[in-house]
A and B are shown apart, each in its own frame.
Chain A
Amino acid sequence: MNLDQKLRKKQYDQIWQQYCGFLDLPLAGFMEIQNRLMLEQLDLYANCELGWRIMKGKKPASVEEYRQDVPLTTYDDYADILLQKVESALPTKPVLWIETTWEGGDKPIKTAPYTESMIKCHKNTFITCMILATSSKKGHFTLRGGENFLYGMAPLPYLTGIVPHVISGELSINFLPPTNEAEKMSFGQRNKTGFKMGLQKGIDLFFGLSSVIAKISETFASGGSGSRSSFFKNSPKMNYRLLKAWSNSKHNKEPIRPKDIWTLKGLICSGTDSASLKKKIEDYWGVKPLEIFGGTEPTCIATETWSKDGMVFFPDVCFYEFIPKSELEKNIDDPSYVPNTYLLDELVPGNEYELVISSLKGGAFARYRIGDIFKCLSLGNEEEGVALPHFAYIDRDPRIIDLAGFTRISEVTISDAIKLSKLDINDWFAVKEFDEHNRAFIHLYVEVGAQGLHGAAATRDIIREHLSIYFRYVDTDYNDLKYLLGIDPLTVSIIPTGTISQYYDTYGRRLRKINPSHYDILKVLKISRGVNGKEVI
């Protein structure tokens, strides 16, 4: 019996049990599932080329041995097999290859294999997210099938493109716009058409990147959504709602907000800036958004619960290990240092951790550093009755600057842009900062070289314009950021030449190029003031 049939039979308790039952697991039960599925994965690794390579010819008999024997990996360890899609070398034959950009990698994209059971699992986890998005209390949800779903995410071959294809066999959902049409549209077109259809038919569910939802909501409120709809094509209910919203807006002299037109059952958001944008999204749409976390390599691995207050991990998607921030810092300063990892039942609330995943169900990745930082909020939520650790997504690995979930800027990206621009920049470092609207941007601190100091035009605006152009050139997603969200996410500050080397002389250690610690930035800025006696420009 599929979900639709169960919904028709009003088997809501069974549905909750099936999809959200894992939230009732004790932590020991959660770990048992993790261990057993990891053993299955080890069994699969033992019979494939990738497994032999990753395991260095060993056959770990337990999860402890696996963690002891197998080193932490990055995409470079898989690139030759995965980029060429050598299926015979994998633990299980994949049925789909998912792509994404490879920030700072040798090739523009990276690919990840998806097995049949991984896709099944992904379908179930996403349905869980939909159920939780439409719930405000344990066991109560309003998902009924036949909902209009504004799906503002990328189509295949990106991860988010899987859902519309796999969910139809389980649940009748009207995607706005319909999947086959949406796949032919650009990102902007898709959102615009989706909204237009939403005005005609209504919207029950919405999934998008937090930054995009926030931007669309702002544009909508300012009346610039561009999605005019015909009165005759709209359903009477929508026409009534539009009229009511318009009259209220005139009466209160306030712009029409999405919540005046649509009463969403649930809103799902994702992306690096979700934490800072969730409140704003709730104000616009009238529902508390449900934050989820996923990625090409791990798939969708975490979701908030009905209280929408902290994420929990799914027990059967990946095997999770955590590198404490202090260990990560050591590893960044000394790449040869092998950081220790901890399991979910060994974490300390309040601490930040880098997530390390091992694919389950025949996936490819073993002890893979996905480069995302989470904060362990608590080891459980007594009020909810959930005895699993709750997390908040913090950011990408400090060596990467993620902007609105759209693009990830690494040291290589910035170096390439500087090199191509031919600007005489002696040294630099970059920091991710937020503006007054909680939008992320790169703050690039540069030291101008001798040529720049004598003769060549190297003002802050010139440098910023130049670098913007080359950023767009080396990173197409950066271009999308500007085009879709209308943000220019680059701010340049010039610091006196020699500041960074003086930092090294004073403190005996190199300054990190990307996201140096807050204290290091203060020290550098102090030096910059001290030496030349003037503020940073």
Chain B
Amino acid sequence: MPLLQIFFWAVPIIALASYCLMMMFFFLSKKDKFIRVFMLLLAALIVWTASSLFMKMQLYPGVLFWNRAMVMGMLTVPFLLYCFISVFTNSINYLQLAFWGVLTVAAVVLNLFGLVVIDAGVLTTTVTEYGISFTSTEFYYVLGEMAPPLYIFMLIFMFFIIYKVRHYLKEGKTTYSQIVPIIAGLLIMFVGVIFNLIQAIGKYPVDILACFINALLIVYAIYKYRMLELRFMLTKGLVYSIFLVLLTGIYVYTVFFFEKNIGSLYQQLSTYFITFSALLIAVVFQPLYRFTNKLVDRMFYKADYSQRQALKQFSNSISNKLDLNDMAAELIGAVLQAIRAKEVLLMLKNEERAYYHVFCTSSKVCKPDIHIPFDNPIVKWLIGNNTSLTREELYSLPHFLSMWEKEKKLLNDMDIEVIIPIKSRKDLIGMLLLTDKINRTAYTLDDLDLLTYLGASSAIVFDNARLFNRAKAEALTDSLTNLYNHRYFRKALSEHVEKVGSAELSLLLFDLDLFKLYNDLYGHFEGDKALEKVASIMVRLVGQKGIPCRYGGEEFAIILPYFDSKRAYDLAEKIRLEIQRTFFNIADVTQRFLTASIGVCTYPHAAANGEELLKRADLALYTAKNSGKNKTVVYTPQFDFSPDETERNDSLSTIKPANTATIYALTAAIDAKDHYTFGHSQRVAEYATVLAGALGLDKSHLEIVKEAALLHDVGKIGIPENILTKTGRLTMEEYEIVKKHVEMSITIIKHLPSMNHVIPAVLGHHERWDGKGYPRGLKGDNIPMLARCLAVTDAFDALTSDRPYRATLNVNSALNEIENHAGTQFDPEIARLFISLVWEGAIEVDHKKTRNVL
């Protein structure tokens, strides 16, 4: 068949088949005014094309009838196209619509009355050349007098439509990208209709081809504008059916071809030929069918294929994993393979802090520091529902009206499209947050089902992994501070020393000064809280740069890989000052005090291995402790010549006489400023020693109470003399200043080597049994016993001394006062014991010694 003839037949057949298919799809899809108007346009195109085809086939009732029907289709297409564009651009002008409608109806009527095409028929010519006859078929038509005006009308109308589209574009009723396929289609159709006028081209179905292209472009425009899911329109079954029809057609045609051509030549072999050809075709077409099957599968189920693969791999890999990090990486990998999301975040539950935090992401560079608290409506929703949560739902379900703006912004900024629960029974262990896909397509129900399945199937394994990791962590961490424990420290130190090789690694050893005293003063509960606070300071300041550990008791260690001694010292000082700032606030006397001494040693400069590093850091720490505490000391080689442990004890004993001298020096200094206090301290020391002895305390405690008594008012050095010696009543402000002498005493004593043991007694000597004392308002037994002793003896001596504002009381009256305040100001037992000691004469009161004492 000549190519031109194929074109002659194929164009209308393909166009008609396509129109019918489109019509069927739109008929089955949801219809709105766009679709309805387009279906009308399709109907007109079908009339146009079908009539043309039937005319060529010379079907009943004849060529003239089909020609007129074809013209009717041609005449109605521009009007329906105009209607479609009006609806598409949402700018219907009823007046203009009516005008063009009336004209179109008139044109159709003229055509039906035979004023456009007068006659049409077929001319069959048979030519015989060289004994072979050629038959050519040619259609002819005779146009009536109304044909030219109608052609002009159609062209004007088409021109008007193009003008209108341009106008809508200018007015902004539509966008260029939306309208481009429609303009292109219109122009093609316009050219096609013009070609129809040229007899030489017009006899071929150029106009039908143009209309077909136009219709395809309109479908594309609708698809683009309406986001029609082609997958829903073009079902797998339909594609299979079409392919099956085609294959069957080819198969049947081939069999008949063989039978007709070869079978007639070799009649005796005809049965074999047919059987053979059928077999051959079956063998050839079977792989073709399979290939098509695969192709269609890939076309429709490409995503499913990778999803199935991802699921399979994930199921295999997670079953033998217990490490949370590995699990998380596997899950994210599976999600990425199955869904191809741009980014995936895995958030896991943090029970202690009551939020979900980002545990792992698909990004290698960033892990956003975001939290979703337990009271977030997303969490509640995921707990209550077993399905995924989409962005659309997040903005439309009333449940999420309670979301805070910053919570919404967070999800918005991260472009989160879907949230998948990871739930083990009712426990929401975590959630997967997915951004949009790389190919920007929307998440389908299949995607969401798969993700929900992944979330659910990983939940139990995650739960197990979480429990395992918790157990593992608990074995290596200190339960109080959550820092690594001693066991881990030793392991980590040797590992890191090995790992850094010839690079530097510093070790910081911390010891909290006077921590035993802190525990004694505030109790072990407060002591534990202090340890937690110190640990949190370390974690905060060290961050990812080092490994803070609790070495034991009040000792901490920080391993700092790649830190030289200078950087290590700087960091140590930063931590020390932060601890001091947190615990030791001079402005507030009720604030608890705690400081740290730090020893620093750096490998490989000052130590050859981990063991040596630890030993030498300890030496540096010892030096810091013995040189006034609250300082950082960096190890230097001369420390190796420092006294060993026995020498340390010796040195401690030699400190003693020096302390005594210091105590007397200090009391002498007070004497110089307020000479009454000196005698007062001496007497209180004598009374308190006797009282402590009567309480059954051992020798060391008697020594402590004596020293404490001598130093209990040492802070008065810092109080202005005019207040100390004031004869009148103290004002409130002055009294507040006087109250500070306790705190000042502590400040001075802290700087005396090995005098820390007197602090509890000195600090508590103005506390009252009923809790109304100062500086800390301790009550009852919470006041250290030695402080209670000092309180009674201090008050008694004050009462029996001359004061600038009050005359001295005699012993009886003073003891009565003590008796009266037993149980309120004083420990009742100690007060009564003291009274009995005075009565018994165990405590001698020397009136000659008494002076005006504050």
Contacts and interface: CB of A to CB of B under 8 A. Distances in A.
**Do the two shown chains form a genuine complex with each other?**
yes
Interface of A: 1, 8-10, 14, 17-18, 21-22, 24-25, 29, 32-33, 35-37, 40, 43, 117, 146, 172, 235-237, 315-316, 361-362
A237 B94 contact: yes
B405 A117 contact: yes
Given A236-B95, A236-B98, A172 B402 contact: no
A29 B399 contact: yes
Contacts of A9: 226-227
B405 A362 contact: yes
Given A8-B32, A10-B32, A14-B392, A316 B401 contact: yes
B30 interface: yes
B131 interface: no
B398 interface: yes
The 10 closest A-B pairs by CB, nearest first: A18-B396, A36-B402, A33-B402, A21-B398, A316-B401, A22-B398, A40-B404, A235-B94, A33-B401, A236-B94
A361 B90 contact: no
21 contacts: A1-B392, A10-B30, A10-B32, A14-B392, A17-B396, A18-B395, A21-B397, A22-B398, A24-B398, A33-B402, A36-B375, A36-B402, A36-B404, A37-B402, A37-B404, A43-B404, A146-B90, A235-B95, A236-B98, A315-B401, A361-B405
Interface string B397-433: 1110110110000000000000000000000000000
A146 B33 CA distance: 13
A190 to B, nearest CB: 24
Contacts of B32: 8, 10
A402 B659 CA distance: 88
A24 B405 CA distance: 23
A36 B392 CA distance: 21
A22 B402 CA distance: 11
Interface in B17-56: 30, 32, 34
B382 to A, nearest CB: 16
A202 B428 CA distance: 55
A237 B397 CA distance: 40
Contacts of A10: 30, 32
Nearest to A16: B396
Nearest to A43: B404
A32 B399 CA distance: 9
B773 interface: no
A283 B761 CA distance: 92
B377 interface: yes
Contacts of B94: 235-237
Contacts of B395: 18
Contact of A17 (B397, B401, B404, B405): B397
Nearest to A25: B398
Contacts of A25: 398
Contacts of B34: 8
Contact of A22 (B375, B392, B401): B401
Given A21-B397, A36-B404, 16 more contacts: A1-B392, A8-B32, A8-B226, A10-B30, A14-B396, A18-B395, A25-B398, A29-B398, A33-B398, A36-B402, A37-B404, A40-B404, A236-B94, A315-B401, A316-B401, A362-B405
Contacts of B90: 146, 172
Contacts of B30: 10
Nearest to A5: B227
Interface string B77-100: 000000000000010001100100
Contacts of A236: 94-95, 98
A236 B94 CA distance: 7
B796 to A, nearest CB: 46
A40 B403 CA distance: 9
A24 B226 CA distance: 31
Contacts of B396: 14, 17-18, 21
Interface of B: 30, 32, 34, 90, 94-95, 98, 226-227, 375, 377, 392, 395-399, 401-402, 404-405
Nearest to B404: A40
Contacts of A172: 90
Nearest to A116: B405
Given A8-B226, A14-B392, A235-B94, A40 B398 contact: no
A362 B375 CA distance: 20
B410 to A, nearest CB: 13
Nearest to A315: B401
Contacts of B375: 36
Nearest to A361: B405
Contacts of B377: 36
B105 to A, nearest CB: 16
B392 to A, nearest CB: 7
Contacts of B226: 8-9
Contacts of B402: 32-33, 35-37, 315-316
Nearest to A34: B402
B462 to A, nearest CB: 28
A43 B373 CA distance: 15
A22 B400 CA distance: 10
Contacts of A35: 402
A17 B30 CA distance: 20
Contacts of A117: 405
Nearest to B408: A117
Contacts of A361: 405
Contacts of B397: 17, 21
Contacts of A32: 402
A521 to B, nearest CB: 45
Nearest to B406: A40
A43 B32 CA distance: 48
Contacts of A33: 398, 401-402
Contacts of A17: 396-397
A32 B403 CA distance: 11
A236 B92 CA distance: 12
A461 B95 CA distance: 57
A369 to B, nearest CB: 25
A221 to B, nearest CB: 27
Contacts of A21: 396-398
B30 to A, nearest CB: 6
A196 to B, nearest CB: 18
Contacts of A8: 32, 34, 226
A8 B32 CA distance: 8
A17 B405 CA distance: 21
Contacts of A22: 398, 401
A235 B95 CA distance: 7
A146 B87 CA distance: 11
Contacts of B398: 21-22, 24-25, 29, 33, 315
Nearest to B34: A8
Contacts of B98: 236
A172 B94 CA distance: 19
A316 B404 CA distance: 10
Nearest to B225: A8
Nearest to A39: B404
Nearest to A40: B404
A126 to B, nearest CB: 16
Nearest to B396: A18
A21 B401 CA distance: 10
A316 B405 CA distance: 12
A71 B741 CA distance: 45
A237 B392 CA distance: 39
A29 B398 CA distance: 9
A17 B400 CA distance: 12
Contacts of B227: 9
Contacts of B404: 36-37, 40, 43
